Structure 1
């Protein structure tokens, strides 16, 4: 009997079919995460005209989805520790795909807003858990690049929303682009079967057989047995009170992180929601206005890949500045 350190096995593994499958599924999920977020900005000019919405009412509808994301991130982040990230990924995928799909059947702003809030619960919980699952199994030498590639899925989805809007809305109306968001539901059974659960959760719940089978896929050149003893490096306690963020000379960096993140999200969600409408008010047609949204997401893809690579070379601190 030998001792297996699952953390070391994963960190020292070489990129193979197992990692590729996990990367592709993660990219697919984050793609629709981005699609479902940007799709509201794509239809906003049409909804304002159809439902005679004021700017305040249109902004409020967009905010309901973001409120859902806030609550979803908090709730599903906690739930993942209890039932596993794989199960939470499946639950949140159903939430944001189903209720974004149902937005295509909404006849009133109230119904539409309710569906956006419920979809937001899933959107808030999906990305942290997908990225955590991805990094849990990514080889150490490729971790940053793998995460950068998957995060590009968000921008690809952001490009897909206006592209599908340009293609479908003139013929099938604004509701059709919400129906496309239901596609992940059809692939959920296949995805759930192929996605792994995190090694730490399998160890904590005593699912040794499943863990050994997963590690054999992670590192095919290694030999594992059910008789081997499996250990996992303990991670540092994460339940730190907020006050702890301001201790030990962390106050300045905490405020800077909060300020940067707030400003980034204000810009991202503000432009994704209002850019097409702003460009139409500047005199551009609907399709041309949606083209600006495509350009915005295209820049995000290039920036993510370049800066992700530079972070590995020069460090995240410099690149953040």
Structure 2
């Protein structure tokens, strides 16, 4: 009879087909999530014209989904620590896919906003739970890389949204973009069947037979038998209260994470919502302005993967701080007249260091918080960050409403990048100081 630490097995496991399977389904969920989130920026120029919306009204309408995401992250992140990640993910998936489908039937801004709020609840709850699940199953030496690759599905969803929009908007209208959300719902039985539950949650629930079966697939060489005792040494049996996020030396770093999430999501959603419209105002056609959204999300995917690779070799918080500096510089330069090649390059870098850095923040927060409070920590960080996501579209609408020069619009979008860089630098310094005095994991390389 052996006593086996569940997390030690997973941390030291060799990457195999089971890890690929978990990453595939998590990435697929985030593709659908990204499609639903970026769809508003794609249809915005059309619905503004159809419903006669002012920029400020359009910004407010775009924020409805983000209000929903804030509440969804706070509610479902904490709930999943109690009912399990798998149930929490399935519930969120049905919520945002169903609401997005119904959104296609909206006939006025009020109905549209209600559907976007409900969809936002599901989108906001899905992200922290998927990240927490992938983080739990990833081997320690590849954790940042695998979470980043998985989360690049979010950028793929944004690219899919822009690509579908280029084809479908002129032919079938904006409603068709939302009707396409019916397709993911058909995959729900497969997702629920193949997506595994958190092993730590299974052990705490006394479902040790299921936990053993999963661990034998994660690391077959362990050959765990029915006589072996499973333990979750890294987890505490206490509650998943939000107060735990501030205990045992976590106060300053939790606040830094919240500031970084707020600023990063402000930039992501300001650009995601208003980049096509800003470029259309600058004289580009609708198709061309949507192609900028493609470049933004392609950059996000590349930035996440490259940043995750760097994070597994260097200090992830320092990598994140440097990315934020690059975000501030690249977004500032977008407002100046450039050649098409340079413009696409700057948008690519902006995507890599905003969308990509958002993904690094999730990976870093998942590593910082212990198992018993991981979904709670991610949920609250994401929920606080959603306030920035709400401000982003509103800020863009307000700036367009007062007819500021293009350069000042982008400069305003860049300022949060500098603030976030400072927050992550403080996080890195605090983590280094705590290494000798606390056992809490920090955002350092494995």
> TM-score, with normalisation over the residues of structure 1?
0.94
Note the C-alpha offset of 1:317: 2.8
Indicate the residue corresponding to 1:151 in structure 2. 151
SS at match of 1:284: coil
Indicate the residue corresponding to 1:160 in structure 2. 160
Task: Give the direction of change, closer, same or farther, for the CA distance of 1:242–1:49 in structure 2 (3 Å limit).
Answer: farther
Indicate the residue corresponding to 1:221 in structure 2. 221
Root-mean-square deviation (CA), in Å?
1.9
SS at match of 1:230: strand
Indicate the residue corresponding to 1:92 in structure 2. 92
Count of residues paired in the alignment: 319
Note the C-alpha offset of 1:15: 1.2
Indicate the residue corresponding to 1:194 in structure 2. 194
Q: Write the distance in 2 (CA, Å) between the matches of 1:67 and 1:133.
A: 24
Task: Give the direction of change, closer, same or farther, for the CA distance of 1:133–1:244 in structure 2 (3 Å limit).
Answer: closer
Indicate the residue corresponding to 2:241 in structure 1. 239
Indicate the residue corresponding to 2:392 in structure 1. none
Note the C-alpha offset of 1:2: 2.3
Q: Write the distance in 2 (CA, Å) between the matches of 1:73 and 1:249.
A: 20
SS at match of 1:196: coil
Q: Write the distance in 2 (CA, Å) between the matches of 1:153 and 1:170.
A: 26
Indicate the residue corresponding to 1:110 in structure 2. 110
Note the C-alpha offset of 1:318: 2.0
Indicate the residue corresponding to 2:48 in structure 1. 48
Indicate the residue corresponding to 1:298 in structure 2. 298
Contact 2:168–2:177 at 8 Å: present in 1 too? yes
> TM-score, with normalisation over the residues of structure 2?
0.68
Note the C-alpha offset of 1:240: 5.2
| Greater shift in the superposed pair: 274-283 or 39-48 | 274-283
Q: Write the distance in 2 (CA, Å) between the matches of 1:168 and 1:74.
A: 35
Q: Deviations over 1:184-212 (max 9, x none)?
A: 21111011111111111101111111111
Task: Give the direction of change, closer, same or farther, for the CA distance of 1:75–1:256 in structure 2 (3 Å limit).
Answer: closer
1:160-179 matches, cutoff 5 A: 160-179=160-179
Contact 2:245–2:254 at 8 Å: present in 1 too? no
User: Higher relative CO (CA 8 A, sep ≥ 6), structure 1 or 2?
Assistant: 1
Contact 2:84–2:197 at 8 Å: present in 1 too? yes
Note the C-alpha offset of 1:255: 5.3
Q: Write the distance in 1 (CA, Å) between the matches of 2:198 and 2:185.
A: 22
Q: Write the distance in 2 (CA, Å) between the matches of 1:195 and 1:234.
A: 23
SS at match of 2:230: strand
Indicate whether 1:5 and 2:38 are aligned.
no
Q: Write the distance in 2 (CA, Å) between the matches of 1:147 and 1:188.
A: 22
Indicate the residue corresponding to 2:272 in structure 1. 272
Indicate whether 1:287 and 2:287 are aligned.
yes
Task: Give the direction of change, closer, same or farther, for the CA distance of 1:233–1:98 in structure 2 (3 Å limit).
Answer: same
Q: Write the distance in 2 (CA, Å) between the matches of 1:153 and 1:279.
A: 25
Indicate the residue corresponding to 2:65 in structure 1. 65
SS at match of 1:314: coil
SS at match of 1:221: helix
Gaps in structure 1 of 5+ consecutive residues: none
Task: Give the direction of change, closer, same or farther, for the CA distance of 1:159–1:52 in structure 2 (3 Å limit).
Answer: same
Gaps in structure 2 of 5+ consecutive residues: 322-446
Q: Write the distance in 2 (CA, Å) between the matches of 1:256 and 1:155.
A: 25
Contact 2:141–2:312 at 8 Å: present in 1 too? no
Q: Write the distance in 2 (CA, Å) between the matches of 1:110 and 1:240.
A: 34
Contact 2:34–2:154 at 8 Å: present in 1 too? yes
Task: Give the direction of change, closer, same or farther, for the CA distance of 1:72–1:156 in structure 2 (3 Å limit).
Answer: same
Note the C-alpha offset of 1:181: 2.0
Task: Give the direction of change, closer, same or farther, for the CA distance of 1:193–1:235 in structure 2 (3 Å limit).
Answer: same
Indicate the residue corresponding to 1:121 in structure 2. 121
Note the C-alpha offset of 1:141: 1.5
Task: Give the direction of change, closer, same or farther, for the CA distance of 1:194–1:258 in structure 2 (3 Å limit).
Answer: closer
Task: Give the direction of change, closer, same or farther, for the CA distance of 1:244–1:4 in structure 2 (3 Å limit).
Answer: closer
SS at match of 1:4: strand
